[in-house]
Amino acid sequence: MSTYTGRYVHSHGASWNGIPLKVGEITMGDHLRNASMYCWLVGKTHMRADAEGMERLGLEPDSLIGARVAECGFDVYERDDGMLPEGPDGFYDPDGAQEYNKNLAAKGYESDNPWHDFANSGLDEDGNVLFGWFLKNSTEAANIAEKDSETPYLTGRGIEFMDTHDGPWCCHLSFIKPHWPYIVPEPYASIYGPEHVLPVVRSDTERQNAHPVLKAFMDTKVGQTLSRQDVRDAVVPAYMGLIKQADDQMGRLFDWMEKTDRLEDTMIVLTSDHGNFLGDHWMGEKTFFQDASTKVPLIIYDPSPEADGTRGTVSDALVESIDLAPTFVDVAGGEIAGHILEGHSLLPILHGQLNETPRHAVICEYDYSASPIADMLNASVRDAVMFMAANKKWKLIHCEGGHRSILFDLGNSSDHADIVATMYDHLFVWTRRQSQRTTRSEQQLIEMRSKSRGRGIVVGKTMRRWT
């Protein structure tokens, strides 16, 4: 939600999957429409609507404004969150993959849930379904024609959108993969094997006297499982195959854009919401602040002549995902609402005017109050949260609940207490920011200082009149 609002988790409050984004949050789509640019979704968001807030305000979900509020400010061309496995308590996401399932059924994939039985499962020698949710099955090929699998499907839908909609628009083409289940169709299932898996990044010293919160994440079932080399040898090649497929599908999209002259006036931004440990640092998914999880690619193609001077270069600027929304508003020619958007436009860097953003540190937040890890640590809901402040040399992690801080030296020099204090200063400056006053801009507040003088209010000394 931070990418879609341009605001920190601490500000918008939707701190975990399934926690609704409150009705009053202004989104990227709202900002862009104010600049006469529409904002469309093709793919995944994980957005959960604030149904109680919408009902309180009388917003009908099927109205235009209600639909946009319920979909994080997007106009929906197709939403597909995937994730349609069924367990004892029902479907993981009952609304996931609905249109995709209809598409598969129309192509002859006969099943109550083709997403499960074909796109994300293999077959054994006897024709039994081997679900990709079980990591041992990641070595199997998904039982589906490659062109019908999830990533080519969403790429095709993105092309269909662009082919039928005139600009100006912002299209969020959001792939599901390489998210688990880790299973991929041929030919990608056979491209990589254990011999292509890079050595795991971890050491035994990480587990020795480990920080209590870090140890809890290491001790999760997924962390323990993906720390096994035999599991990595099964999963990582499939993960690499899924990434290769996504890369090829982006090539398909870009080829189409080039043939239709859309590369001449379309900015392209490639990024992700997080990385994946896959056994690095003794952890399994995305749930800590090492670079494997938090430092994700950001590749921007800007077709404008102003970007010619930086084309093909690499920047080490301190950039956060919340910078994308103000960047897009800037591209659209709109006014960046600095009292709402907490990120910074990247156009000055793209156009060679600046080398760095104004920030002194990047911030990450993680709320694990709804995770079993909170029980493992006997942490209250209030204390089940941690923060990261990092610059180009140091990374500080603060965990609530009275735990000691964690300091990573990114430059391999000795650590010092004064560095911890400096990094805490960066974190303290961030916590003191004004993030909730979103209904008045700074300029409006300045103008309000003098408005009372013209409204019949006189404040001053009294004068006695003598007669």
DSSP state of 132: T
Residue 320 and residue 370 in one domain: no
Q: Give residue 68's pLDDT.
A: 96
Q: Give residue 435's pLDDT.
A: 83
d(CA 194, CA 229): 10
Which residue do the tokens 């909730």 mark?
436
Q: Give residue 282's pLDDT.
A: 96
* 444 in a structural domain: no
Q: How many helices (H) and strands (E) does the chain have?
A: 17, 13
Residue 115 and residue 257 in one domain: yes
HSE toward the beta carbon, residue 155, CA cutoff 13 A: 21
pLDDT less than 50: residues of the chain: none
Residue 298 and residue 413 in one domain: no
Task: Give phi and psi for 230, each to the nearest 5.
Answer: -65, -35
Residue 168 and residue 69 in one domain: yes
Tokens of 141: 């090929």
Residue 429 and residue 346 in one domain: no
Q: Give residue 458's pLDDT.
A: 54
* 430 in a structural domain: yes
Torsion of CA 371, 377, 383, 385, to 10 degrees: -50
120 with 131: CB under 8 angstroms?
yes
Strand ranges in 190-311 using DSSP code E only, listed in sequence order: 268-271, 298-301
Residue 273 and residue 383 in one domain: no
Residue 268 and residue 365 in one domain: no
Q: Give residue 452's pLDDT.
A: 56
Q: Give residue 431's pLDDT.
A: 87
* 456 in a structural domain: no
Q: What percent of the chain has pLDDT over 90?
A: 79
Residue 287 and residue 400 in one domain: no
Residue 257 and residue 329 in one domain: yes
> Which residues, in sequence order, are CB contacts of 419 under 8 Å at separation 6+?
394, 407
d(CA 180, CA 143): 16
Average pLDDT in the chain: 92
Strand ranges in 47-157 using DSSP code E only, listed in sequence order: 75-79, 86-87, 90-91, 121-123, 129-131
Q: Give residue 460's pLDDT.
A: 56
Q: What is the pLDDT of residues 315-360, one digit of tens each?
A: 999 999 999 999 999 999 999 999 999 999 999 999 999 999 999 9
Closest listed residue to residue 328, CA positions, set 159, 172, 443: 172
* 113 in a structural domain: yes
Q: Give residue 448's pLDDT.
A: 73
**CATH code where residue 22 lies:** 3.40.720.10
* 256 in a structural domain: yes
* 102 in a structural domain: yes
Q: How many domains does the structure of the chain reveal?
A: 2
Residue 104 and residue 219 in one domain: yes
Residue 208 and residue 330 in one domain: yes
Q: Give residue 289's pLDDT.
A: 94
* 143 in a structural domain: yes
Tokens of 285: 């998914």
Q: Give residue 166's pLDDT.
A: 92
Q: Give residue 467's pLDDT.
A: 52
- Domain range for 378 is 360-436
Domain boundary among 354, 376, 394: 354
Strand ranges in 191-257 using DSSP code E only, listed in sequence order: none
- Classify burial at 136, counting beta carbons within 10 Å of its beta carbon; exposed 0-12, middle 13-18, buried 19 or more: exposed
* 460 in a structural domain: no
Residue 194 and residue 321 in one domain: yes
